[in-house]
Chains A and B, each alone.
Chain A
Amino acid sequence: MTEPVLEALGVEKRFAGVRALAGVDLTVRPGEVHALVGENGAGKSTLIKVLTGVYQPDAGELRYQGAPVRFAGPPDAQAAGIATVYQEVALVGSMSVASNLFLGREPRRFGMIDFPAMRKSAAKLLAELGIDVDPARELRTLGLGVQQMIAVARALHSDARVVIMDEPTSSLEPREVDTLLALVRTLAERDVAVVYVSHRMDELYRVCDVVTVLRDGAVVHTGPLAELDRVRLIATMLGRDIAEVRREGSTAFSGEHETEDEPVLAAHELRRSTVLDGVDLEVRPGEVVGLGGLLGSGRSETVQALAGLQRLDSGAVEVNGQPVRPGSAAAAIRAGIVLVPEDRKVEGLVPNLSVRENIVLAALPRLSRLGVVSRAKQDAVVRTFMERLQIKASSPDQRVSELSGGNQQKVMLARWLAMSPKVLLLDEPTRGIDVGVKAQVQQLVDELADQGLGIVMVSSDLEELVEGADRVVVLRDGKSISQLRGDEVSVDAVLAEIAADAAEEVGS
């Protein structure tokens, strides 16, 4: 067996007395892809931050290429050869691809940057990795997937011995994921050690050789991934019984809610210049409608338009047959349409406010009389939802920014449920949250539908879409092109619809 390139020995880390890591051992060898898994709060992020020099361990040591090391900060770890690819692309969008690849180590001649040489090596590097991009192009004009690929190329170019990938695929399309995973294998073939963090089981089984499972800040299992089947892995992560996991399945959706009622939400021919080109949608009470399609097909734009967050050039939205003034979020909320947006931090939560404040924010008008907010009513609402959604917070007064991703998502949900909506729009409800909480959120979606809410769900996770939705509307280029219902709804069917589009696209 090859010598480890990076080792963590008995690493401990505490935050304000809370133990985030309790004596973690991790051994990473050259040429292996090492999966690091665990629920949110298990300590993955903290461990990664220790490995990349963001945090210094309180106890234990790091060994790099056999010698004990201490990284003062991320640049330190990078200089040593530990590169990181982050969940969000950490590059500069306004600069060229080549500049992004070489930023901080540009080739120079006579003290000035040698741009021709830089473009040439960039082109060479990209060609080597099979990334067909013009190095002179501005990075932000590229898709997220390609940007993430550039980030990997950058890591590779820096002669990194270890590349740490923290959920690199969370904002990528399935096809882009394939490319990225191929790239991961390439790295491994070059004897680079890859630490791969992802919540997506598929990906882990496709690229990883070894797995280390964290739970409550400690390693509960480490060994070859092939020895651990999917169910066992989930059970190990959650610390649950295998039989239990089997019974519940890997997603927590119960299946069908068929109704014959009049649609609670109807949208006709939604159009907006370049993003929407005729979307039709109907949602009945108690029904979950999934929106399928590639990134950029208009999924998010559709739900945003329904919620009044995007102007419309034409088209109509009705709730219970009553027209809703388009382009007005206030009108949409009054009509009972609420959106739980994809990016919790940017679009929804106010991180510095408390759980209580975040929940009641949108419902304030209904909880107040003559502009005075009733504390008692607030407390009642907050208590109800914290219990119902099992929001884990030390108290309603804890800051939302201190909660884990999954709990933040629940707070977001609670806020909108406090508005007693008729239609709930969910944009990527489970992105970036871990398996356990994911199941809870999925269960919740089910429950809400049973209670008669009309739900529209956007998800890149096809399995989630298919198991969660009663009907799937497939979008392409801002247009709703087909609808799958009942037994037609399957991963293959949705893929076929999307693929049919792609074939058509090539033909045209």
Chain B
Amino acid sequence: MTMTESFVDTSAATGARPSRGATLAALAQRHGALVVLVILLVAGGIAFDTFLTFYNLGNLAVQASFLAVVTLGMTLVIVSGGIDLSVGSVYALAGVLAAYASQWGLVPALLLPLAVSAVIGLAQGVLIGRFGMAPFIVTLGGLLFARGLLQFITDEGASTYLMPGDSPVRWLGSGKVLGIGVPVLIVVLLFLVGGFVLQRTRYGMRLFALGGNEDSSALMGIPVVRTKVLTYVLSGLGAGLAGILAAAQLGSGVTVVGVGLELNAIAAVVIGGTVLTGGRGGVTGTLAGVALLYVIQDLINQSGSVNANMQQVVSGGVLIVVVVVQTVLSRVRRGQSR
């Protein structure tokens, strides 16, 4: 047999090459949130004088940065085909721990909450990866556990730990470099690293493989357990860091924060084009998704006439629209087959 001659006629064996429609659909799925974000920014700029200002956007970015840090880990988890519901509680717990430990200086204020978050992530990762338990249930347990721990160490919120006003930790939350808030810079840095890790490293490829087809991945020799454990540890670390930053900005560890944060994080990730069933997505979209949530909120505040509660309604609506559009798009991509 001559090996030069191609003996697979892919055009006939596989159906048509991806059509232009499918390519466009892929693009829209990846960058849809960004497009909507730009449209809203322009529209907002035209409608309100105070919207497209350095001051307003800078503030908005700082507010959004805490959620953004959480969503970075969440993106990894969702790409791997999992979910992490514990991030909101871990976020709050880390904030309180950071405030508490700030009395001993910067390093403990960082290390204590990060260590606790990482351990919670590790425990969840082991249960999910090693023992094959469902991520939803395990991290729901993590959510209750972290929240309970928080209630315990704060006497059900009765004792509030303050960060000393001169603590260097405060700078992480409220400092500015060249007029840009430090949390925003941290987010930019983390997303650059996150994007690199997801798109350019073996670990990233493993996440996509796991999320795409876990059984096949295992058969192909991917270290499934290790990859999953690492992912939940990273997610825990992200939530912990976000909590530290938030506490640093507020100047105290507040126990009531972070309730429902995990749902906002999931919403932002999904709006950003990462598919909830895993195997497809990226951090750029997630960042756009976070920005979108906050821009919608700000535009509603700016308008003044709309009740602030409408923000939730609109965000919810956007989420549903995104999910519907995603489903339609992925059907287009698969060429309408069932």
- Tell whether A and B belong to one assembly: yes
Chain A nearest CB, measured from B283 CB (Å):
16
Whether B205 lies near A79 (C-beta < 8 A) is no
Chain B nearest CB, measured from A141 CB (Å):
6
Given contacts A84-B219, A94-B280, contact A182 B1 (CB under 8 A): yes
Whether B335 lies near A131 (C-beta < 8 A) is no
Whether A130 lies near B279 (C-beta < 8 A) is no
Bound complex: CA A468 to CA B14 (Å): 29
Q: Knowing that A141-B15, A146-B13, A274-B337 are A-B contacts, what are 7 other residue pairs whose CB atoms are under 8 Å apart, sorted by A's residue number? A: A95-B212, A99-B208, A99-B209, A113-B202, A130-B7, A137-B18, A274-B335
Given contacts A92-B209, A274-B335, A274-B336, contact A113 B201 (CB under 8 A): yes
Q: Is the CB of A55 closer than 8 A to any CB of chain B?
A: no
Whether A112 lies near B8 (C-beta < 8 A) is no
Given contacts A94-B212, A113-B202, contact A79 B1 (CB under 8 A): no
By a CB distance below 8 angstroms, the chain B residues around A179 are 7-8
Q: Is the CB of A90 closer than 8 A to any CB of chain B?
A: yes
Whether B220 lies near A90 (C-beta < 8 A) is yes
- Residues of B264-303 at the interface with A, using a CB-CB cut-off of 8 Å, are 279-280
Bound complex: CA A274 to CA B338 (Å): 11
By a CB distance below 8 angstroms, the chain B residues around A74 are 218-219, 221
By a CB distance below 8 angstroms, the chain A residues around B15 are 141, 143, 296
Bound complex: CA A209 to CA B213 (Å): 35
Smallest Cβ-Cβ distance to A154: which chain B residue: B220
Whether A93 lies near B219 (C-beta < 8 A) is no
Q: Is the CB of B215 closer than 8 A to any CB of chain A?
A: yes
By a CB distance below 8 angstroms, the chain A residues around B337 are 274-275
Whether B220 lies near A103 (C-beta < 8 A) is yes
Q: Is the CB of A366 closer than 8 A to any CB of chain B?
A: no
By a CB distance below 8 angstroms, the chain A residues around B202 are 104, 106, 108, 113
By a CB distance below 8 angstroms, the chain B residues around A93 are 212-213
- Residues of A121-145 at the interface with B, using a CB-CB cut-off of 8 Å, are 128-133, 137-138, 140-143, 145
- Residues of B216-253 at the interface with A, using a CB-CB cut-off of 8 Å, are 216-223
Bound complex: CA A156 to CA B301 (Å): 61
Smallest Cβ-Cβ distance to A173: which chain B residue: B13
Chain B nearest CB, measured from A309 CB (Å):
9
Q: List 29 A-B contacts (CB under 8 A).
A: A75-B221, A75-B223, A90-B213, A90-B215, A92-B208, A92-B220, A92-B279, A93-B212, A94-B213, A95-B205, A95-B209, A95-B212, A103-B217, A106-B202, A113-B202, A113-B205, A130-B4, A130-B8, A131-B6, A131-B8, A143-B10, A143-B13, A146-B10, A179-B8, A182-B7, A185-B1, A186-B1, A274-B336, A274-B337
By a CB distance below 8 angstroms, the chain B residues around A106 are 202, 205
Closest 6 CB pairs of A and B: A92-B212, A94-B212, A132-B6, A143-B14, A94-B279, A75-B221
Bound complex: CA A141 to CA B211 (Å): 17
Whether B3 lies near A95 (C-beta < 8 A) is no
By a CB distance below 8 angstroms, the chain B residues around A480 are none
Q: Is the CB of A371 closer than 8 A to any CB of chain B?
A: no
Q: Is the CB of A86 closer than 8 A to any CB of chain B?
A: yes
Chain A nearest CB, measured from B224 CB (Å):
10
Determine which residue in B6, B13, B209, B212 has the highest number of CB atoms from chain A within 10 A of its CB, and name it.
B13
Smallest Cβ-Cβ distance to A178: which chain B residue: B7
- Residues of A252-280 at the interface with B, using a CB-CB cut-off of 8 Å, are 273-275
By a CB distance below 8 angstroms, the chain A residues around B208 are 92, 94-95, 99
Q: Is the CB of A378 closer than 8 A to any CB of chain B?
A: no
Bound complex: CA A310 to CA B212 (Å): 26
Smallest Cβ-Cβ distance to B6: which chain A residue: A132
Bound complex: CA A137 to CA B202 (Å): 19
Chain A nearest CB, measured from B213 CB (Å):
5
Given contacts A106-B202, A112-B196, contact A129 B13 (CB under 8 A): no
Bound complex: CA A131 to CA B211 (Å): 27
Interface string of A175-186 (1 = CB under 8 A from B): 110110010011
By a CB distance below 8 angstroms, the chain A residues around B209 are 92, 95, 99, 103
- Residues of B191-208 at the interface with A, using a CB-CB cut-off of 8 Å, are 196, 200-202, 204-206, 208
Q: Is the CB of B5 closer than 8 A to any CB of chain A?
A: yes
Q: Is the CB of B334 closer than 8 A to any CB of chain A?
A: yes
Q: Is the CB of B155 closer than 8 A to any CB of chain A?
A: no
Interface string of A153-180 (1 = CB under 8 A from B): 0100000000000000000010110110
By a CB distance below 8 angstroms, the chain B residues around A141 are 14-15, 18, 334-335
